[in-house]
Chains A and B, each alone.
Chain A
Amino acid sequence: MPRPLIHRLVHAGLVLGAFSLCFGIVAGARAQTELLNVSYDPTRELYREINAAFIAEWNAKNAKKITTIRQSHGGSGAQARTVIDGLNADVLTLALAGDVDAVAQRSKKLPENWQSRLPQNSSPYTSTIVFLVRKGNPKAIKDWGDLVKPGVQIITPNPKTSGGARWNYLAAWAYAEKAFNKDDAKVRDYVAKLLANVPVLDTGARGATTTFTQRGIGDVFLSWENEAFLALKEFGPDKFDIVVPSLSILAEPPVAIVDANVDAKGTRAEAQAYLDFLYTPKGQAIIAKHFYRPRNPEAADPKDIANFPKVDLVTIDAVFGGWAKAQATHFGDGGTFDQLYKPAR
């Protein structure tokens, strides 16, 4: 019983209409002021406390209240990708400048000179890479050189997806350059041996921590300093020891406002104040409490500062000529990681 064509079209139109209506309703704007902080894996605990402190301070002074600061966490590269794909972040607090650069270049939502807009390379806190080993250090791991000994299992996340892992990789590389006097063949040999000792390559820093601490895999975990302290705090100092290597890298996790998003949402003042808050004495004290190295140690509790061991820190600019170069040389397709990584069978 064939129906006229027009009936079919009407039916199809009705279905289409209902479909688009669903989306239209949902797309309505939200009324309260909310900020969205898109961050990387290990900052969860830090920003939980920062957010509470900042909201209290802001709301005491301003008529336009902030109701919530939303958090999104994941691997630094993955988080940058979601912002590029349209996640409406007000601020980015990622693991490394390279990921914020990627957002700036691909989405054009913030200017390429973003890093000069806030003090100290836009990094209100720094960190470094240390070794977390099992209690008593049964494999006697003292420095980078011990990592390539046969039978040592190293846990590190995948440098392709994790910001922390990129710092790990560069710290190892910097050590090797110093130890082998910039002999490129030996440096490569060292890094290749190190990578050959890695049995599990998680996608994010937090997954790697779980693998090492809760699943009992590996002898040494190349970890953010803050993540290592947190593991001691969560699981008890009787399970793990922190080993500080002779040399490590100064990691500067950057923060930035996403201009196009805050302007569209009308949240620029709040977002700016939020990031500025990180540099205030109160913010710096909270930062130190969560095992990040504050830029302004005087503001923090001396007990927290005493936690931080003295390490010989090299910078990415001095050794690698900045993120853009390091990213292309080491982590791009066909970079040194791709060349040197050959999983043991």
Chain B
Amino acid sequence: MSDATLPRHDAAAAPAPAAKPQSARSVVGESPIIQAALITVSLAFLLLFLLLPLITVFVEAGARGWSGYREAITEPDAVSAIRLTLLVAAIAVPFNVVVGVAAAWAIAKFEFRGKNLLISLIDLPFSVSPVISGLVYVLLFGAQGYLGPFLRANGIEIIFALPGLVLATIFVTFPFVARELIPHMQAIGSTDEEAALTLGASPWRVFFSITLPNVKWSLFYGVLLCNARAMGEFGAVAVVSGKIRGLTNTMPLHVEILYNEYMSAAAFAVASLLAGLALVTLALKALLEWRYGDAIAASRRH
């Protein structure tokens, strides 16, 4: 049952079927030549659009050697950008986990009117241009915005400060956790929980010892993707950051600034950290699929 609006990232849902020997289906399959052609086309496409940019990042980052690289990523502004990025993600991701789990619980376990609308609203930030996600907070919290005078009177800073960065990041990553969990929880159903409740378990106990363990892998996927996007967000954050060096510059913004200062090696050095994060994310995800593929599939077949 695929209700996912976001892709499900669960190649493991069906346990590694491609491992089946091809010869067993001699009546179906394509001729080896067509196979080779299709594989070549796919690989060329991937190389051109995916791998080349990745390789470029690392090649350009290494352009000034190891010492230049180390200098670029240990320079104070870079360090503060890294720290800020981690801090923003450390607030935004847990927030979205709590909300995502709550939303998935409400949507997957209950039938109520307006559910489809709610699902679509949760999905909305996903298709909203990042620029718009920044713009809405400027319109709301900016000095000329609807709440601007009130915030100013009370000395509260939201945009061009940490809260604005966090809000914009939460906005763009809002659907990630919920959209991973909802289809999985729907597929599992609620018979386990109902049984436990009937046997007298407390609701929180049911949640923590039955529901959460059942969906832990989907949750983990959601967190991984949410985190990757949170650390890498550019458009939304650019609008609300004010770009103050050492204070409100996140890593992606710092990349842009360095790029604009003719320090392209340094820009790519910081970019390579983000690319490295992306690779770790993918590796973790792949590892989980290989190692626990059967477990995930089993829990989904539940």
Contacts and interface: CB of A to CB of B under 8 A. Distances in A.
Q: Does a CB–CB distance below 8 Å link A and B in the complex?
A: yes
12 contacts: A44-B261, A68-B246, A72-B245, A73-B243, A73-B260, A74-B243, A85-B138, A86-B143, A86-B148, A86-B157, A230-B262, A234-B262
Interface in A121-175: none
A84 B144 contact: yes
Contacts of A74: 243
A70 B159 CA distance: 17
A23 B170 CA distance: 14
A36 interface: yes
B255 to A, nearest CB: 13
Contact of A70 (B166, B247, B260, B262): B247
Contacts of A70: 244-247
Nearest to A34: B247
B162 A71 contact: no
A70 B262 CA distance: 20
A116 interface: no
A41 B260 contact: yes
Nearest to B262: A234
Contact of A86 (B142, B260, B261): B142
A182 B143 CA distance: 43
Interface residues of B, number: 31
Given A82-B242, A107-B144, 14 more contacts: A26-B163, A27-B157, A45-B261, A70-B244, A73-B243, A82-B243, A86-B143, A86-B144, A86-B152, A87-B160, A107-B143, A206-B260, A206-B261, A210-B259
B214 interface: no
A68 B244 CA distance: 12
Interface in B226-269: 242-247, 257, 259-262, 264
5 closest Cβ pairs, A-B complex: A86-B143, A85-B142, A87-B242, A206-B260, A87-B160
A82 to B, nearest CB: 5
Interface string A84-98: 111110000000000
Contacts of B260: 41, 44, 73, 204, 206-207, 210
A85 B30 CA distance: 61
A344 B139 CA distance: 35
B144 A23 contact: no
A85 B156 contact: no
Contact of A36 (B143, B159, B244): B244
Interface residues of A, number: 32
Contacts of B138: 85
Given A71-B244, A71-B245, A85 B143 contact: yes
A235 B264 CA distance: 12
A335 B13 CA distance: 59
Given A70-B244, A71-B245, A23 B163 contact: yes
A68 B91 CA distance: 27
A45 B263 CA distance: 12
Contacts of B159: 85-86
Interface of A: 22-24, 26-27, 29, 36, 41, 44-45, 68, 70-74, 82, 84-88, 106-107, 204, 206-207, 210, 214, 230, 234-235
Contacts of A234: 262
Contacts of A27: 155-157, 161, 163
B145 interface: yes
Contacts of A22: 91, 163, 166
Contacts of A82: 160, 242-243
Nearest to B148: A86
B145 A85 contact: yes
Contacts of B91: 22
A84 B143 CA distance: 7
B158 interface: yes
Interface in B134-157: 138, 141-145, 148, 152, 155-157
Interface in B88-142: 91, 138, 141-142
Given A22-B163, A23-B163, A41-B260, A106 B158 contact: no
Contacts of A26: 157, 161-163
B145 to A, nearest CB: 7
A214 B156 contact: no
A23 B155 CA distance: 11
A116 B142 CA distance: 29
Contacts of B145: 85
A15 to B, nearest CB: 9
Contacts of A107: 143-144
Interface in B257-289: 257, 259-262, 264
A36 B228 CA distance: 31
B143 A73 contact: no
